[in-house]
Structure 1
Amino acid sequence: MELVKCTEQYWEFVRILRQDQRVKEGFLDDITITPDMQKAYMADHSKFYRILLFEGQPAGYVGVIDNDIRVCTHPDFQGKGCGKFMIDEIMKIFPKAYARVKISNEASIRLFKSVGFTEKLIVLERN
């Protein structure tokens, strides 16, 4: 496994993975991201993201925006240590980063706890 810079060749991979129904419900914001929206966002923020390559294939992404970690492992690569690897590596770059996780996203809570994160704050919002 290795993390590489999120160059333009990976922007569409990130968008497609972010829209994948198998992972979409885990994100705080449930929005549809168009290719144009992704291109504009990544033009400004790709320097804060890394792509996980697993045996040469894109398998996930991790980024830190305003010290908030954004991480997603492609479902085909889950359970292989990818999430832990990405978080450990991104913390070397952004050591003060934290994670905002939906209370219902038990997999992400387990992931972050497994790499040493602890719960500090729970924010409740009204639907």
Structure 2
Amino acid sequence: MEKVKLETESVSGNIKLINCSIKYWDFIRKLRNKNIGFVQQVKITHYQQILYMKNHNKDYKVCILNNIPVGFIGEVDFDLRLAVHERYQNKGVAKYMLKNFKTKKHTIGKVKKDNIHSKSLFISCGWKLTDKIGDDYYYENGK
């Protein structure tokens, strides 16, 4: 476990990325269903999540802060998926995940045009804006 000082004084402690075991599948589903920042917002049922995670759990990590799940990050087919629980947003959790999650070369992060925080996050972590299509911005890791 790594002791990391996050970007605000209100959140600090032990933070780590762990493998996505079955006990976190519903956490990811609930966070995914609640998070309005996703480009495609479709409600995911418990059953759909089980089917999906059976095939993709190895592609995800869960971010644990002081033994509490606070976010997730994953990559499926070169598409990055990332979310942080609203209580822990804008505190450095997403930056920690993005910097410590190993992505494949040319992985894409897709961000809504009006999501200023996510656009800043990708740029601050060295990702490059590669395309703008409609209301979506595409960032590539370029590793």
Q: Determine if the alignment matches structure 1 residue 14 to structure 2 residue 28.
A: yes
Tell me which of the two structures has the higher relative contact order, counting C-alpha pairs closer than 8 angstroms and 6 or more residues apart: 1
**1:113 Cα deviation from its structure 2 partner:** 1.0
1:114 match: 124
Aligned to 1:67: 78
TM-score by length of 2: 0.80
Deviation at 1:89, TM superposition (A): 1.1
CA drift of 1:32 comes to 0.9
The residue type paired with residue 47 of structure 1 is K
**Which ranges in structure 2 are unaligned for 5 or more consecutive residues?**
1-14, 136-143
Aligned to 1:94: 103
Tell me how far apart the structure 1 counterparts of residues 55 and 104 of structure 2 sit (CA, whole Å): 21
Report percent identity of matched pairs. 32
**What secondary structure does 1:33 align onto?**
coil
Following the alignment from structure 1 to structure 2, what is the Cα–Cα distance between the partners of residues 39 and 95? 25
Q: CA deviation at 1:98?
A: 2.3
Deviating beyond 4 angstroms after TM superposition, the runs of 4 or more aligned structure 1 residues are: none
User: Greater share of strand residues, 1 or 2?
Assistant: 2
Cα displacement (A) at 1:111 = 1.0
CA RMSD of aligned residues (A): 1.2
Per the alignment, in what secondary structure is the counterpart of residue 120 of structure 1?
Answer: strand
Aligned length: 120
Structure 1 stretch 97-106 or stretch 57-66: which is displaced more?
A: 97-106
Structure-1-length-normalised TM-score: 0.89
Q: SS state of the match for residue 81, structure 2?
A: strand
Query: 1:101 aligns to what SS in structure 2?
Result: strand
